[in-house]
A and B are shown apart, each in its own frame.
Chain A
Amino acid sequence: MARPRPEPMQVVKQRRDAALNAIVEGVPYIRFLNITFDRRGDELTGVLNFDDKLIGNPLLPALHGGVTAAFLEVTAVITLSWEYFFPRIESGEIDAEELIKADAVRFPKTVDFTVDYLRSGLPRDAYARAFVSRSGRRYASVRVEAWQDNHARPIAQATGHFLMPQNKSEAG
């Protein structure tokens, strides 16, 4: 039996980008901090686009520690959601168009989040990548790190636990 022809690249890209946009867009706080996501295949990198209002110490100046923490948490939650949706979109179980509908995306809830501040955040863009250590039916554990000019010199790292969204039919 012949293998089906691969889909044209533009079709694949458009579907994946539409799905990512559906997850990220519409969250006011992500827009407020101006966080965007770069996608390479299934791998996401969060980008915190610098703005003066993100400063926490005007004397240094440095990013606010709360902004760094929020950036790490947003990256963790979006990566966790993405890793949940990506295979389902690729297999056709979920239609990327359907994700755009308001009630399709439900985010994991943060149970706890622990941030280590390693270096002060400079007044420029920052990047973050999250690694899902475990994702079960109810709980997930995620590690995430943020850096600026030099990936080998992270400005902060965090670990968090999350409660996965439950289907209403499964909820007792």
Chain B
Amino acid sequence: MVDKVAIARRFIEAIPHARALELELTTIGDGEAAITMPYNTELVGDPRTGVIHGGAVFTALDTCCGAAVMSHPSAPGGTATIDLRIDYMRAATPGQSITARATCYHITRNVAFVRATAMDEDQDLLVATASGAFTVEGL
């Protein structure tokens, strides 16, 4: 089990685009994962407000969902996104890091079902939620 967690963490941190966004895997195991994305002015979607672009939030959520699938006890190895839907509740506060948390709540031989949330440093108000289906691949 420990090995798989270590593999997942290494795998996530070896992703070039995850490095470009400075994504940090903070929690992983048993189908749950959390990823933090620090505030970065390069990721701003509207220069008048300084709010992070929804696309960067999508990437953090997608990566986190993939990590949650890989950490599930029944997952043999890799995964790929089949579909992912994101709902944006509000703009993330400029200057704050964003934390994505994902749960793989059901897994079959072929498909993993995941839901996720994104929050900034205000832990009471959601920035976005996501839900999706992922493939289940052998190692």
**Chain A interface residues toward B at CB < 8 A:** 26-29, 31-33, 52-58, 64-67, 69-71, 73-74, 102-103, 107, 109-117, 120
Q: Smallest distance from the beta carbon of B39 to chain A beta carbons, Å?
A: 12
Contacts of B61 in A (CB 8 A): 66
Contact B44 A117 (CB under 8 A): no
A55 to B59, CA, bound (A): 12
- Asked if B80 and A52 sit within 8 Å, CB to CB, the answer is no
In the bound complex, what is the Cα–Cα distance between A69 and B128 (angstroms)? Answer: 15
- Residues A117 and B17 in contact in the complex (CB < 8 Å), given A69-B59, A107-B46: no
Q: Does any Cβ of A come within 8 Å of B111's Cβ?
A: no
- Which chain B residues numbered 50 to 98 have a C-beta less than 8 Å away from chain A? 52-56, 58-63, 66, 80-88, 91
Complex: A65 Cα to B69 Cα, angstroms? 15
Determine whether B126 belongs to the interface, using a CB cutoff of 8 Å to chain A.
no
How far does the alpha carbon of A44 sit from the alpha carbon of B124 in the complex, in Å? 40
Contacts of A67 in B (CB 8 A): 17, 59
Interface SS of chain A: mixed
Q: Which residues of A sit under 8 angstroms from B80, Cβ to Cβ?
A: 57, 65, 117, 120
- In the complex the two chains form, is B47's CB within 8 Å of A102's CB? yes
Assuming A27-B47, A55-B16, A64-B15, what are 20 further A-B pairs, CB within 8 angstroms?
A26-B47, A29-B43, A32-B42, A53-B17, A54-B20, A58-B16, A64-B59, A65-B62, A65-B81, A66-B56, A66-B58, A66-B61, A66-B63, A69-B59, A70-B53, A70-B55, A70-B59, A107-B45, A112-B85, A112-B86
Question: Which residues of the partner chain B approach A74 to less than 8 Å between Cβ atoms?
Answer: 53, 55
Q: Which 7 A-B pairs have the closest CB atoms?
A: A66-B59, A70-B55, A29-B53, A64-B17, A114-B85, A53-B20, A55-B16
Q: Could you tell me which B residues sit within 8 Å of A by CB distance? A: 14-20, 41-48, 52-56, 58-63, 66, 80-88, 91
B79 to chain A, nearest CB (A): 10
Interface centre among A28, A54, A109, A111 (most CB of B within 10 A): A28
Tell me how far the C-beta of B89 lies from the nearest C-beta in chain A, rounded to whole angstroms. Answer: 9
Closest A-chain residue to B54, C-beta based? Answer: A110
Task: Assess whether A29 is in contact with B88, with CB atoms less than 8 Å apart.
Answer: no
- Assess A117 versus B87: contact at CB under 8 Å? Given A32-B42, A58-B15: no
Chain A nearest CB from B104 CB (Å) reads: 16
Pairwise interchain contact A54-B17, C-beta atoms closer than 8 A: yes
Instruction: Name the distance in Å between A136's Cβ and chain B's nearest Cβ.
Output: 19
Q: Nearest A residue to B90 by beta-carbon distance?
A: A109
Distance of A109 Cα from B46 Cα, bound (Å):
10
Whether B88 pairs with A109 at a CB distance below 8 angstroms is yes
Q: How far is the CA of A65 from the CA of B62 in the complex (A)?
A: 7
Known contacts: A29-B44, A54-B17. The answer to whether A70 contacts B58 by CB under 8 A is yes
With CB as the reference atom, state the residue of chain A lying closest to B41.
A28
Q: Residue on A with the closest CB to B129? A: A112
Question: For B83, what are the chain A residues with a Cβ–Cβ distance below 8 Å?
Answer: 114-117
Flag if B14 contacts A111 (CB, 8 Å): no
